[in-house]
Amino acid sequence: MKPRALLALTLAAVGVFAAGCTSGGASSASPSGQAPVAIATTSVLGGVLSDITTCAGTTSTSLMKPGDDAHTYALSSEQVAQLTKAKLVVANGLGFEEGMTKTLANAKTDGANILEVAPLLDPQPLDATQASALDPHVFLDPSRMAKAADLIGAALTKATGDSKYTDCGTKVSASYTDLDAKVTEIMAVVPADKRKLVTDHESFGYFASHFHFTVIGVAIPGGSTDAETSSAQLATLVATVKSSGVRTIFASSSVNPKAIQALATEVGTVKVSTLYAESLGAPGSGADTYAGMMTTNATLIADGLK
């Protein structure tokens, strides 16, 4: 083969690699049977991690699958064993994975390499009146997840010695900055006086402050998904929702809809729209990647409130 032909072939191969890097889907483009280089706890972080490892030509996985409630999910003993085998475990942190707090701490003691991203992403209090408790729901702010992609890429490079992960983290980060602009554009149809969110639990704090919405009420008090609403809290909430004039309130695909449906029934004039608030959607749902999840949510919110 002539040197010129060889050069052309090499350039073509580089071109294919670069194209693979920008696609950023959650589906694995890697050779089948390859062991995952890293594991994420939640499906949402699994989507971010997958964007990076797919770019790098390797595979990753997540412990939670679409629809699992991250607040209550507990690991099987088989999953616990995976934690120390992976080069890196990407966790949300700030108490989001309530059902695996102990397991993650034990795995860390046993030598697992765990990166908790939320504490590194300028965390804010869950509630202005409870300054001590930090809100773990950082993933609903694409600008924070752009930073997370950079951090995960760098951590993968540190864990593997391979610089391609840092490069891919940078690429994925840039794609989330574009996503941020796209989400803003989709929701531009909602006027300022209609930017009021009523959700099943306290998950939209970062989203609201980033995209200029106000969370006017949550059906489940406290920041997690398993608290009970008192009849007095429900009565106050019903009055708030009625006087706000909102016509749509929002459930999450991974959270028991009992409380939000009870609220909708009491109010009587609102419909419930289900967002992918803290879980990716199933394959083929359109919300099976981080970008797909965020644009689907933006479209549902825009349709519900405009």
Could you tell me the CA-to-CA distances from 292 to 26, 48, 75 in Å, in that order?
A: 10, 11, 26
Binding flags for Zn ion, 247-286, as an x/- string (CB under 5 A): -------------------------------x--------
Report, in Å, the least distance between residue 140 CB and Zn ion: 9
Query: Please, which residue, 153 or 223, has the CB nearer to Zn ion?
Result: 223
From residue 197 to residue 236, the character string flagging contacts with Zn ion as x (rule: CB under 5 A) and all else as - is ------x---------------------------------
Least spacing, CB of residue 19 vs Zn ion, in Å: 36
Q: Does 297 bind Zn ion (CB under 5 A)?
A: no
The residue (of 53 and 203) whose beta carbon lies closer to Zn ion is: 203
At its nearest, how many Å lie between Zn ion and the CB of residue 200?
A: 9
Nearer to Zn ion, 53 or 199 (CB): 199
C-beta of 165 vs 211, nearer to Zn ion = 211
**CB-closest chain residue to Zn ion:** 203
| 124/177 with CB nearer Zn ion | 124
| Subset of 165-204 contacting Zn ion (CB under 5 A) | 203
Taking the complex as a whole, the smallest distance from the CB of residue 150 to Zn ion amounts, in Å, to 24
How near is the Cβ of 133 to Zn ion at its closest, in Å? 13
Residue 79 phi/psi, 5-degree rounding, is -70, -35
The Cα angle at residue 85 between residues 80 and 87, in degrees rounded to 5: 120
Closest to Zn ion by CB, 90 or 112:
90
In the complex, least distance from residue 70 CB atom to Zn ion, rounded to whole angstroms: 7
Q: Does 58 bind Zn ion (CB under 5 A)?
A: no
Contacting residues toward Zn ion, per CB under 5 A: 203, 278
